[in-house]
Structure 1
Amino acid sequence: MHHPPTPEAEAALADELSAVRPELSAPYAAGLPGARAAVLTRLWRALAHEPMPWIARREAGNDGLTLHLTDGRRLHGPHADPYATAAYVTEVRLDGRTYDHPARLIRALGVPHSVVFAAELEHSVASLALSRADQPVADREPGTSWEWEQRVVDGHPYHPNCRSRPGFSVAEQLAYGPEHRPVVELGLAAVDDCLVRGEWPKWLRDEDRVLIPVHPWQAAHVLDLPRQEGLGAHPLMSLRTLALPDGPHVKTALSARLTSSVRDISVYSIETSATVSAFAENMAARTDGLLHVTRTLGAVTAHSPDLAAVLRESPDAYAHGGERVVPVAALATAEVPLSSSWLADFTRLALTVCLRLLDLGVALEAHGQNLLVVLSATGAPVRLVYRDLADIRVSPTRLARHGIPAPAMAGRIVTDDETTLRRKLFGSLIGGTLGATAGSSAVLREALESVVRDLPRTPDLPALLDGPLPTKALTLMRLSPQTPRDIWAELPNPLVRRSF
């Protein structure tokens, strides 16, 4: 059987790895087929469900799904479960030719902007194989939320760029990636002219100058600052946010494209940070103790998105008496599989809290990275913790309806558009958090059906029950760089046409 040449990014990573960590070369090579299937599965989901303008129609048959392209070609693969997280797509056929690598498939499709996206897919496959190659045998349950986060090896459950890290060398991935379990030395940039919100601590000041924690990748590649020793910290899932040894988390600017977006910290988010934090804390207090929000302790920017930082509470502050806080994205890594009753309890808790808040006027971006669950000593889900308030949406009209004063702010966070509010919550919570935790349409349907009668009867509930579910069209967005706004897709709703 003919084997095509190894994609460029995979070969380049292998060469670097042989020089930096040669003991990982063999497990990296062995992991490449599985990494290709994992990324191809995510890509096939996107092709099956996102509104690609070059797909004329989709036809389901007994042997799978056929996509009819506008140029007359046909792309065939297995039936696509929109909520599946296991890698079940090992190959697809384009006009009879077989493709087992997502980058080769995108290049063969030849759609607009496919060259850049194919390179990102190569990075995603290679980095995913590297991440999987460097995993120890789990011998104990994590003791902190950041240790749980380091168990999330595969990245975003549905994005083909789940591990794409272009611009990062192998040594940098090993030094900064949370799944590689490093301690990252953050630099400290002394700045005279800063915008500060909240309380910036004395230990991050040098007389009249503010010390801004700087990620070493940012210092080397964007700011051109000399390498320096500062704060040792544990990287979290987002890569740019790290847990300091004494508890607080620090969000740093990191101007690199990882999955979809270039990571930095906007001046707007710093300006509004204290207002949004106080408002969110007030709203969380209206959930009968079922939700906590990690408070923003201080935020600073040197009037640039490339040099800024945010200090916020650790989620672990909200665990008491044998409880532990687990990021939802890490739930799948637990030694004991989640039972159907546990999943139902968690689904009920998450939907109840988030629907109440949406009715009051706050739409959370409750994906598996932002949302954490507090587990009792016996492992039961008892409360939620939400972090990173930069992308919530707030409706002044809904707040007024409940007699709640709107925060004194404007900008992208503020909207009364019902479609925008529902997309923000449902797209992250159902299409992301609950779907990925369930891992399949069948399991998600069972969980939703078991709790839907218990959910608060808010005006948003019919939209959840009766129509398709929104999700960000993550692949189409990468293929549409000329479109700065979010693009949305619709997923089959497991609850549609059922009576409750």
Structure 2
Amino acid sequence: MNSPLSPTHRQHIERAASGAMTPAGQRRQRGYRSPQFAEEQHCRLLVNCYAREVAMQEHTLAVLPAAHAAERLPTPADYQGQVLDIALPRVDSRLRVGVLHVSATGNFDYTTEVFVQRGQGAWRAAGWEALARLIIEDLSARANTDFNAELLQQIGDSIATMRDLLARLPAPRRPGAPVSPLQAYIDSEQSLLTGHPFHPAPKSRSDWSPDEQRHYSPEHQARLTLRHFQVPREWIVSDSLDQVPASELLDQLSAHGLHADAGCVIVPLHPWQADWLARQDTIAAAMRDGLVRDLGAHGLPFHPTASIRTLLAESADCFLKLSLSMRITNCVRTNARHELESALTGTRLYRAMKAEMQGHFPRFHVLEERAFLTVAIPGGHGERHRELENGFGLVVREGLGKLIRDGVNPVMCAALFGNGEHGRQQVFALIERFALHHGHPLERAARLWFARYADAAVYPILYLLFEKGVAFEPHMQNTVVGLDPDGAPSHIVLRDLELTRLAPKAHALARALGLDPATLEQLCCSDERAWTRIGYCLFVNNLCEVVATISNGNHALYLELWGVLRHTLQNYLLQFPSPEANRRIQGLLAGEPLPAKGNLLTRFLRQADRQASYLPLYHPLGVVNGAPAAAN
């Protein structure tokens, strides 16, 4: 029988959690409470994005042993890490930064500041603005366009937001203090301190003042009371899955105690959005005429989740996805009518196959989008009019209350993976608990823990794609992992069906629902586009981050985890062989690249998210040996 954690294993996990020395090098990142952390983190984010989206594509990137670098970075004499070197020949410059290990997927773990050399000048530590300007200058020369000052401003806004929320972090809970599963889940939704690790401005919320940031942001542990507008019933456009009108569901959900006038409906709004709408000329005129009434803030409080505009009810039995007419990362976060209809259509389609999915994958769950409501304001047309209408759109989503009552401990995946040291500490605590519970050495426990996660996520998502033609969006913020009492993954929960895409295999079923042409056009796509959605969301955004977090700079473990994933994919093909699955999975196992989303390029080119480019991302699946996680 394997013994519990040895002193060596325990020291390794303590080193990993504290950010001290690891076998691969020395961490020198400042802690979250350092005044410089937000700036340094955004430097790392810019390197992440540029490396993956530009340097890897143009072959201007190399990882060098520190001792063999042409010019050493100003690091301690005993530095044993490696150096990421990126050439920017269009602007006659180079970037260098210490990293723990080589990463084929660009999931680097940084150990030093970022250094810049212009021409043949001296190497200097790069401040965030100098680095951002250099990268934007390079992209401008690459695309033959003007300098994008808007992107520079978004990065600065993101830094200001991160700096403010980190300066106001509450004191950590006392170790061992009891926390309910619901509170632990809310904590996970509100703990994204660093945001998307491959976005240049993950905390950009430029439309909010500092006071609004603190009042509405999940990272500030906000609790919101909804504002309510009364609008004419003939303006309402809604749908519901279970014959209960959306307006009744909303009344029950917020328990506002208000009574609508005859011929009117009460519509809940995010309080910031209510203020925004009230300032718009069309709505202000309707208020003056008495057609729209602002009834104020009433009812039960809600918890903002990581997406900022999606709120969790106090009971946890429902989420409410509201509209915010402001850009958060790539998109203005309003709900267009075709998106609302797509969300309910995704639920209707999944209900038709739910029994089969539960038979194959009993611990996989998709949160239903149960109703939507929006408005159609008479007498208007054009983009501006649609913007106002979209600003009212909302979705009622199934919550996690039943799963929690059934003994599942849910945690949003983005809180664990890709969330810096804060997430890494939680992951290692879970793996340590799992190792102690089962008497495994730590690295074996890490492989087994990852195998459980990969099995739970990969099998049902690939089955939906290859057998049903359904592509959800299983990226980090859309995926919730349920944990066993021993800290191991037991359930995978997917949410947010607004961007469901249907491959040709599902087109006939979608057409049979009698959808309007705009919604049908949004839903249906080619096999290639559906695979791009899953290849990016599941593999690049999700599993690459899981592997990087668990391996924590241990390159041998990093390759072993990729071997476990290869074994998982091979086993999927044995259980569910099909021509499409065979073509895609065997392609990955032979080394075909994955699609990586170009968030930096999307922001630089001022494109809508639906226009985002996807770049080839190579990975170790084709060069590692597939092995069961339990192998010694």
TM-score by length of 2: 0.68
Match of 2:521 in 1: 411
Aligned 8 A contact 1:157 1:436 in 2 = no
Aligned 8 A contact 2:598 2:613 in 1 = yes
Matches within 5 A, 1:100-499: 100-109=126-135, 110=137, 111=140, 112-135=146-169, 136-139=171-174, 140=177, 141=179, 143-144=181-182, 145-192=185-232, 193-198=235-240, 199-202=245-248, 204=251, 206=260, 208-224=263-279, 228-231=296-299, 232-246=301-315, 247-287=317-357, 288=360, 289-303=362-376, 304-332=389-417, 333=423, 334=426, 336-338=429-431, 339-359=446-466, 360-397=468-505, 407-409=513-515, 410-415=520-525, 417-439=526-548, 442=555, 445-455=559-569, 456-457=572-573, 458-459=581-582, 460-465=584-589, 466-482=591-607, 485-498=611-624
How far, CA to CA, are the matches of 2:214 and 2:624 in structure 1? 48
- Identify which range, 231-240 or 213-222, moves more after superposition: 213-222
- Identify which range, 373-382 or 202-211, moves more after superposition: 202-211
Taking a change above 3 Å as real, the CA distance of residues 88 and 490 of structure 1, as seen in their structure-2 partners, is: farther
Aligned 8 A contact 1:252 1:265 in 2 = yes
Aligned 8 A contact 1:83 1:435 in 2 = no
- Displacement of 1:284 after TM fit? 4.0
How far, CA to CA, are the matches of 1:57 and 1:389 in structure 2? 37
| AA matched with 2:370 | L
Taking a change above 3 Å as real, the CA distance of residues 438 and 405 of structure 1, as seen in their structure-2 partners, is: same
Can you give the 5+ residue segments of structure 1 that lack an aligned partner in the other structure?
A: 1-26
TM-score by length of 1: 0.85
- Identify which range, 77-86 or 364-373, moves more after superposition: 77-86
Taking a change above 3 Å as real, the CA distance of residues 447 and 168 of structure 1, as seen in their structure-2 partners, is: same
Match of 2:51 in 1: 48
- Displacement of 1:197 after TM fit? 0.8
Deviations 1:77-108 (A, max 9, x none): 23674453755452231414535333322223
| AA matched with 1:217 | W
How far, CA to CA, are the matches of 2:503 and 2:214 in structure 1? 42
- Displacement of 1:426 after TM fit? 1.5
How far, CA to CA, are the matches of 1:486 and 1:421 in structure 2? 15
How far, CA to CA, are the matches of 1:363 and 1:295 in structure 2? 15
- Displacement of 1:398 after TM fit? 5.6
- Identify which range, 111-120 or 218-227, moves more after superposition: 218-227
Aligned 8 A contact 1:243 1:250 in 2 = yes
How far, CA to CA, are the matches of 2:325 and 2:31 in structure 1? 27
- Displacement of 1:257 after TM fit? 0.9
Deviations 1:171-216 (A, max 9, x none): 1111111111111122112222111010314253725423222112
Aligned 8 A contact 2:31 2:37 in 1 = no
Aligned 8 A contact 2:471 2:530 in 1 = yes
Deviations 1:13-44 (A, max 9, x none): xxxxxxxxxxxxxx999533122222111110
The count of aligned residue pairs is 470
Match of 1:22 in 2: none
How far, CA to CA, are the matches of 1:476 and 1:212 in structure 2? 37
Deviations 1:112-165 (A, max 9, x none): 443111111111122112222222303344522323211222222321212111
How far, CA to CA, are the matches of 1:492 and 1:422 in structure 2? 16
Taking a change above 3 Å as real, the CA distance of residues 186 and 427 of structure 1, as seen in their structure-2 partners, is: same
Match of 1:8 in 2: none
- Displacement of 1:420 after TM fit? 1.1
% identical equivalent positions: 23
Taking a change above 3 Å as real, the CA distance of residues 227 and 211 of structure 1, as seen in their structure-2 partners, is: closer
- Identify which range, 343-352 or 373-382, moves more after superposition: 373-382
Indicate the SS of the match to 1:126: helix
Taking a change above 3 Å as real, the CA distance of residues 52 and 385 of structure 1, as seen in their structure-2 partners, is: same
Indicate the SS of the match to 2:34: helix
Taking a change above 3 Å as real, the CA distance of residues 463 and 212 of structure 1, as seen in their structure-2 partners, is: farther
- Displacement of 1:306 after TM fit? 1.1
Match of 1:39 in 2: 42
- Displacement of 1:273 after TM fit? 3.4
How far, CA to CA, are the matches of 2:33 and 2:406 in structure 1? 43
Larger Rg: 2
**1:76 pairs with one of 95, 98, 102:** 95
Indicate the SS of the match to 1:448: helix
Can you give the 5+ residue segments of structure 2 that lack an aligned partner in the other structure?
A: 1-29, 70-82, 141-145, 252-258, 285-293, 377-388, 418-422, 432-445, 574-580, 627-632
Taking a change above 3 Å as real, the CA distance of residues 406 and 473 of structure 1, as seen in their structure-2 partners, is: farther
Aligned 8 A contact 2:310 2:322 in 1 = yes
| AA matched with 2:62 | A
Indicate the SS of the match to 1:230: strand
How far, CA to CA, are the matches of 1:479 and 1:196 in structure 2? 36
- Identify which range, 484-493 or 249-258, moves more after superposition: 484-493
How far, CA to CA, are the matches of 2:31 and 2:454 in structure 1? 36
How far, CA to CA, are the matches of 2:363 and 2:352 in structure 1? 13
- Displacement of 1:68 after TM fit? 3.8
How far, CA to CA, are the matches of 2:523 and 2:112 in structure 1? 38
| AA matched with 1:50 | E
How far, CA to CA, are the matches of 1:69 and 1:373 in structure 2? 40
- Displacement of 1:57 after TM fit? 4.5
Aligned 8 A contact 1:255 1:263 in 2 = yes
Taking a change above 3 Å as real, the CA distance of residues 66 and 29 of structure 1, as seen in their structure-2 partners, is: closer
Deviations 1:287-324 (A, max 9, x none): 22232111122101113111111111113323444321
Taking a change above 3 Å as real, the CA distance of residues 405 and 319 of structure 1, as seen in their structure-2 partners, is: farther
| AA matched with 1:93 | V
Taking a change above 3 Å as real, the CA distance of residues 272 and 392 of structure 1, as seen in their structure-2 partners, is: closer
Aligned 8 A contact 1:212 1:308 in 2 = no
RMSD: 2.9
How far, CA to CA, are the matches of 1:407 and 1:90 in structure 2? 55
- Displacement of 1:255 after TM fit? 1.3
Indicate the SS of the match to 1:411: helix
